Structure 1
Amino acid sequence: MKKISLIVPCYNEEESVNLFYDTVTPVINAMSPTEKIEPEYIFVNDGSSDHTLDILRNLQAEHPDTVHYVSFSRNFGKEAGLAAGLEASTGDYVAVMDVDLQDPPELLPKMLNLIESENYDCVGTVQHDRAGQGWFRAWASSSFYSVINKISDVHIEPNARDYRLMTRQMVNAVLSVGEYNRFSKGIFSWVGFKTTYLTYESQPRAAGTTHWSLKQLLQYSLTGIMDFSDLPLRISTWIGGITFGFSLLGILFVIIRKLTVGGSVAGWASLVTIILFIGGLQLMCLGVLGEYLGKVYLESKHRPLYIVKEEK
């Protein structure tokens, strides 16, 4: 008998938890007619302010052998939830899923078959489209993947979801990456292993509303870029070098003009404009440097990624 651990992060998802369990359980039970699959549900309550924890307690009491939960002391973010779920999992295979059923559980049997029959270590998923997200979010997401794959040594599949099924060996490799600032999609690619992707049409949420604002998505994108590329730092260096070169040319121009024409250079307004331009570039480069320095500062503190208040 093999065990599949289902990692399900939850944040204010009181309407979705029972619906998720009732929908996924029949799929798990029917996955292998010749060899029974033992499920392990690990719900991670990421500091929800609604009744999500109460529902998880009741669900665990009804199914004590298969349902478990980890509840944080506050909201630590989805990345912390994923890490906590992976650490708590004990299955031979581990799946990461969203509780809102935007990740179709019907793909699980095919994912398991690909791993067992074709020796894949991971089967991920890719949305065929982004219907319902709005044109700006769709464009921003497409641009993010295009940028990060050009500036990073790690290839991240465009429009890839967190929804994936992994072997225990790959999960252990992911857990060995002890970063505080985590970007799981990049980590999944960085550890390597034989991976393939299944494509599916985007699904609406089964209940509730999304908790990801545009600002959070932009911050998450910046985290991904800074975690897997130092190109912004190198661009800052290039900008500084080019600006310095132009400054030297400007000094030469002023000296030659003074020797050949005489008098001071007219146009204080243009001079002030140039000074402000160069000052702006310097501040921008310092800002990029500060972002990386801030990441290093957080890593050096060695704070835990999350704090567990209750688990069962």
Structure 2
Amino acid sequence: MSAHDRLTIVIAAFDEAHALPMLHPRIAAVMETLAADGIETRVLYVDDGSGDATWQVLQGIAAGDARVALLRLSRNFGKEVALTAGLDMVTEGAAMILDADGQDPPELIPQFVAHWRDGYDDVHGTRLSREGESWLKRSTAHVFYRVIQRLAKTPVPADTGDYRLLSPRALDALRQLRERHRFMKGLFGWIGFNRIAVPYAREQRIAGRTKFGFWRLWNFALDGVTSFSTAPLRLATYVGVFTACGAFVFALYVIGKALMYGDRVAGWPTMMAVILFLGAVQLVALGVIGEYLGRLYEESKQRPLYLVSAWHQAPGPGSLDRLPDV
């Protein structure tokens, strides 16, 4: 069987003990459909240091299905790193990324596989709707994708998450990118190759609660912008230039007013307003520089992306039989 006939479904899970037992039967049904079409399919669940019974649930799933492999990280490293760990394991065939909450329907995987067989390397799902999400979350997500498209030189498709299939050569390219602050949507776009979108309606979470609150989403967006664009640094430069020009014009105004009318009363309120404004601009600029400097500091330490606590391989030919290089 060639590598073109193998597919590994990679699912990163964090505190999803309630959702996984409902999700796996749907995946198993899809695997049967793919097997009838000549595709050898396996599932790799990555437990990202869950604090609930997720690992025990996954062990039960693996005990009942020989096509399931399990990888447990030593602690919670975050979804981006957990996905990286799972994709590092796939050395044969393609990889299909699926969320553990069931919002991205596994029933559409045969469509992704069909495009892969047609020669596409990155088959990504584009959301037409987002059921079960608040108006605020949908609106901020809409704005984020448009902003990142304008700021970053790397193409990041709008309304597109991690729900995608990656070909073997796309996976090989992705494994060469070992940066610590990982914005996977940007990395998927950076490697390029042949890409095609699969429109779909995103479903509601099947169980449990989302782990991405607004504060975490804000930090995620900040990581995305600073990982693939230097526009904030350029903006800080522009703000500094315009502020300096404004201060110069204001200084000419003050001097001219004093020469023409005298300076009978010291302008304490005006002086304080100017000082506070300039101080705020400087602090914002320093904060932007600090964000980039902090990322350089993290990269310079060259720590492993993740550590593996436990590994359960799926038996059979073409199984995932090695630990990843971190």
Q: State the TM bucket, normalised to the shorter chain.
A: over 0.9
In 2, Cα distance between the equivalents of 1:153 and 1:280? 29
Q: Give the partner amino acid of 1:185.
A: K
In 2, Cα distance between the equivalents of 1:204 and 1:256? 65
Deviates further, 288-297 or 12-21:
12-21
1:52 to 51, 54, 61: 54
Please tell me whether residue 3 in structure 1 is matched to residue 16 in structure 2.
no
Match of 2:111 in 1: 110
Summarize the alignment of residues 57-72 of structure 1 with structure 2, pairs less than 5 Å apart. Answer: 57-64=59-66, 66-72=67-73
Deviates further, 16-25 or 168-177:
16-25
Summarize the alignment of residues 137-156 of structure 1 with structure 2, pairs less than 5 Å apart. Answer: 137-156=137-156
Match of 1:84 in 2: 85
Once the 2 structures are TM-superposed, how far is the Cα of residue 88 of structure 1 from its aligned partner? 1.1
In 2, Cα distance between the equivalents of 1:222 and 1:257? 44
Summarize the alignment of residues 60-209 of structure 1 with structure 2, pairs less than 5 Å apart. Answer: 60-64=62-66, 66-117=67-118, 119-209=119-209
Q: Against the structure 1 CA distance between its residues 264 and 151, is the aligned structure 2 distance closer, same or farther, given a 3 Å change threshold?
A: farther
Please tell me whether residue 221 in structure 1 is matched to residue 217 in structure 2.
no
Deviates further, 99-108 or 3-12:
99-108
* 3-state secondary structure, aligned to 2:181: coil
Q: Against the structure 1 CA distance between its residues 256 and 100, is the aligned structure 2 distance closer, same or farther, given a 3 Å change threshold?
A: closer
Once the 2 structures are TM-superposed, how far is the Cα of residue 57 of structure 1 from its aligned partner? 2.1
In 2, Cα distance between the equivalents of 1:296 and 1:83? 20
- Does structure 1 conserve the Cα–Cα contact (< 8 Å) formed by 2:102 and 2:206? yes
Q: Give the partner amino acid of 1:115.
A: W
Q: Against the structure 1 CA distance between its residues 90 and 18, is the aligned structure 2 distance closer, same or farther, given a 3 Å change threshold?
A: farther
- Does structure 2 conserve the Cα–Cα contact (< 8 Å) formed by 1:42 and 1:89? no
Once the 2 structures are TM-superposed, how far is the Cα of residue 48 of structure 1 from its aligned partner? 0.7
- Does structure 1 conserve the Cα–Cα contact (< 8 Å) formed by 2:121 and 2:195? yes
In 1, Cα distance between the equivalents of 2:158 and 2:10? 22
Gapped runs of 5+ residues in structure 2? 313-326
2:29 to 7, 14, 26: 26
- Does structure 1 conserve the Cα–Cα contact (< 8 Å) formed by 2:26 and 2:107? no
Once the 2 structures are TM-superposed, how far is the Cα of residue 267 of structure 1 from its aligned partner? 2.1
- Does structure 2 conserve the Cα–Cα contact (< 8 Å) formed by 1:5 and 1:90? no
Q: Give the partner amino acid of 2:8.
A: S
Once the 2 structures are TM-superposed, how far is the Cα of residue 155 of structure 1 from its aligned partner? 2.1
In 2, Cα distance between the equivalents of 1:254 and 1:16? 67
* 3-state secondary structure, aligned to 2:297: helix
For these two proteins, the number of residue pairs brought into alignment is: 309
Once the 2 structures are TM-superposed, how far is the Cα of residue 261 of structure 1 from its aligned partner? 4.1
Please tell me whether residue 282 in structure 1 is matched to residue 291 in structure 2.
no
Alignment deviations for residues 69-107 of structure 1 (CA, whole Å, 9 cap, x no partner)? 111111111011100000112331110001222111121
- Does structure 1 conserve the Cα–Cα contact (< 8 Å) formed by 2:132 and 2:203? no
Summarize the alignment of residues 225-304 of structure 1 with structure 2, pairs less than 5 Å apart. Answer: 225-263=225-263, 266-304=266-304
Gapped runs of 5+ residues in structure 1? none
Once the 2 structures are TM-superposed, how far is the Cα of residue 266 of structure 1 from its aligned partner? 3.9
Q: Against the structure 1 CA distance between its residues 264 and 181, is the aligned structure 2 distance closer, same or farther, given a 3 Å change threshold?
A: farther
* 3-state secondary structure, aligned to 1:30: helix
* 3-state secondary structure, aligned to 1:20: helix
Q: CA RMSD in A?
A: 1.6
In 1, Cα distance between the equivalents of 2:113 and 2:41? 13
Q: Give the partner amino acid of 2:124.
A: G
* 3-state secondary structure, aligned to 2:99: coil
* 3-state secondary structure, aligned to 1:148: helix
- Does structure 2 conserve the Cα–Cα contact (< 8 Å) formed by 1:7 and 1:41? yes
* 3-state secondary structure, aligned to 1:4: strand
In 2, Cα distance between the equivalents of 1:253 and 1:160? 52
Structure 1-normalised TM-score? 0.94
Once the 2 structures are TM-superposed, how far is the Cα of residue 254 of structure 1 from its aligned partner? 3.6
Structure 2-normalised TM-score? 0.90
Once the 2 structures are TM-superposed, how far is the Cα of residue 264 of structure 1 from its aligned partner? 6.0
2:42 to 40, 63, 79: 40
Once the 2 structures are TM-superposed, how far is the Cα of residue 17 of structure 1 from its aligned partner? 2.2
In 2, Cα distance between the equivalents of 1:98 and 1:113? 20
- Does structure 1 conserve the Cα–Cα contact (< 8 Å) formed by 2:126 and 2:159? yes
In 2, Cα distance between the equivalents of 1:263 and 1:210? 61
